[in-house]
Structure 1
């Protein structure tokens, strides 16, 4: 079964809008695990507009499933991840002022840099994943970085799913098949939702994990957090 890791950035955004500690990021993380989530994802940014550095350190001893920290591997981020030692680090090439992640790595152009950063994490026993566009030709360069997994950037799929789901997923299937040839694990994330997740999960081979935040938290406003997590797990189930 594909694991569900819940990104809790939106919880931190809501908290920061008012100040104080409501809603509590740490409490929501523990509740999500209790509701069935198999991982907690956070994406701390340099401006700390949602997840703060304090959140990262506060969450580490509390997360009992899989702790996944996403971010651009700038020096401060790398140092923090090496100190916290999460189960997984996901490297994303987003600019400091990006509203949200908007592109995967050009692994060919950034090969030397990614090799260097990834080796630091792997030396500390931290599993690595790198954000990748659905481009089969980029997979061989991703493999050369030494990463354990790739995370398929699924905005294109989600945007085009309502119009032509078969065409929307085609390049993702091709990329996943190519990744299997190189022994890379496959994660996925960005704009996956209750509407489009099952089709994606059913058609992507070796899909180990999905990271979902914005849609899940938005849907929970109507359905409730515990119920929403359970529905997502059913979407991912293989019968």
Structure 2
């Protein structure tokens, strides 16, 4: 599928992948426009949190060097924690993607606000150290707008919600509806 996507995607192709030798080899062959390194366990249905890079800087740094050395910018999918942002800066990646899962799963308004504030602070810190910022995970038509309003976030990665809606209304309408939810 990824080989076909590389041929037909007209915007930019972001390959979300685990930090493994096998996946780096595929990325080096396919040459996506950028890659996002994410935590991945075989038994997971979806990503359960941000990549903890602080304890594995040498290992992840090796993959980043290979990819960026081949002209493929790297993003790290991380939680909006100062230590993770500093580690991302140290690794000299181009982007980070802030994990919005805790915000999306918040059960009450106070928790949701706390998580949104954390995302905003993380974004501000990342930009201050020269990182570009994307965000995603668990975003829906109902919760995306406040995240979209965070200054400095360049891209929102939303998949499941759009695809689920597309089953009912078609892809074009589902995307149009998400764009409306983002710009409200």
**In the alignment, which residue of structure 1 is the partner of 2:152?**
206
SS at 1:150 equivalent: strand
Partner of 2:104: 158
Q: Does 1:170 align with 2:125?
A: no
Aligned to 2:20: 74
1:61 is paired with a residue whose SS is: helix
Instruction: Identify the match of residue 90 of structure 1 among 20, 24, 36.
Output: 36
1:161 deviates by: 6.5
- State the structure with bigger RCO (CA 8 A, min sep 6), 1 or 2: 1
Aligned length: 183
Instruction: Determine which of 87, 105, 111 is the counterpart of 1:141.
Output: 87
Q: CA deviation at 1:181?
A: 1.1
TM-score, with normalisation over the residues of structure 2? Answer: 0.93
Instruction: Could you tell me which runs of 5 or more consecutive residues in structure 1 were left unpaired when the two chains were aligned.
Output: 1-54
Structure 1 contact 132–153 (Cα < 8 Å) conserved: yes
Residues 24-173 of structure 1 mapped to structure 2, 5 A cutoff: 55-160=1-106, 163-164=109-110, 165-173=112-120
| Partner Cα distance (1:58, 1:181) in 2 | 38
| 3-state SS, counterpart of residue 8 of structure 2 | coil
What corresponds to 1:224 in structure 2? 170
Q: Distance in 2 between matches of 1:199 and 1:172?
A: 10
Q: Is the 8 A contact 1:69 1:86 kept in 2?
A: yes
Distance 1:234 1:121 in 2: 35
**Contact 1:121 1:127 survives alignment (8 Å):** yes
Distance 2:39 2:29 in 1: 21
CA RMSD between the two structures: 1.6
Offset at residue 168 of structure 1 (A): 2.7
Gapped regions of structure 2 (runs ≥ 5): none
Per the alignment, in what secondary structure is the counterpart of residue 181 of structure 2?
Answer: helix
User: How many Å separate the matches in 1 of 2:181 and 2:61?
Assistant: 35
1:129 counterpart SS class? strand
TM-score, L = length of structure 1: 0.72
Q: Deviations over 1:137-180 (max 9, x none)?
A: 32111111111111111110101175333223011111111101
By percentage of residues, which structure has more helix?
2
| Separation of aligned partners in 2, 1:61 and 1:138 | 34
